[in-house]
């Protein structure tokens, strides 16, 4: 499901995807989050099996410390 979702992002126009970002600096690390939201889910197979489903989203999180970035 996640790969299908990410693949869908590659073929969508950017105006169809809402994005939200946060950046936190705490405890010697920097944590960035970016949320991608799609409200038009007509492309999603078997969506009728998810009662009340109105959107899908993914969150990408990056944590940077003095030693590494994950």
The string of pLDDT tens digits covering residues 23-57 is: 999 988 999 999 988 888 887 888 889 999 999 88
Q: In the structure, what pLDDT confidence band is assigned to residue 64 with cuts at 50, 70 and 90? A: very high
Q: CA 1 to CA 58: how far, in whole Å?
A: 11
CA dihedral over 45, 50, 56, 60, signed as positive or negative: negative
pLDDT of residue 40: 85
User: Phi and psi at residue 3, in whole multiples of 5°?
Assistant: -65, -40
Closest by CA position to 11, among listed 39, 34, 33, 43: 43
Q: What are phi and psi of 15, to 5 degrees?
A: -75, -15
Q: Counting runs of H as helices and runs of E as strands, what totals does the chain give?
A: 1, 3
């Amino acid at each position: 499901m996640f790969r299908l979702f990410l693949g869908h992002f590659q073929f969508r126009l950017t105006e169809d995807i809402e994005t939200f970002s946060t950046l936190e600096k705490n405890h010697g690390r920097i944590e960035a989050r970016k949320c991608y939201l799609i409200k038009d889910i007509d492309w999603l197979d078997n969506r009728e099996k998810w009662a009340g489903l109105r959107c899908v989203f993914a969150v990408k999180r990056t944590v940077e410390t003095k030693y590494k970035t994950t």
